[in-house]
Structure 1
């Protein structure tokens, strides 16, 4: 058994959760914060068998893969805040851990 932690942007979490649910995966959703653009994140926890880990990762990649977005300058002095900057957004951080014991009660 494996426990997969997937950290995605809030705007991507609904699509990722829906795709995982449609494919038979149960997901626990936790609110979290952080990131370069100071936007909210969501941490998803998915418990699954070892042979299905790649399927979970492929679904996450499909639903929230990296893409580019134009934003106002998110860092730097205030006089440059009106500048438009192309940044990479999306993607996910994924951790896969072993589960010593699992019980559903």
Structure 2
């Protein structure tokens, strides 16, 4: 009985298509993104040419750049996870972050005269 209650309390996994559609709708309705594209795209669109192919080319270029950047982020995060999850990596991370905090403290103490 308790197992059935536990199963009913777990959230259902959304399909990949649903996640994509939700992400797309959030992105397309983001006012900052709309303002960004409205301010950037007109500079690169020739009014004497047809709008649709130019817009598709600009959108595709932007999409490819975003995919490349996010892939680099993911690869770096995977690399950092593999290096920092060991004891040696964790100790190094602690030393680096401790050094950063100490340097911030020294800088703060030196600036407050």
Q: Do Structure 1 and Structure 2 share a fold, with TM-score over 0.5?
A: no
Q: TM-score range by the shorter chain?
A: under 0.3
Larger strand fraction of residues: 1
TM superposition score normalised by structure 1 = 0.23
Normalising by the residue count of structure 2, what TM-score does the alignment of the two structures yield? 0.22
> In proportion to residue count, which structure has more helix?
2
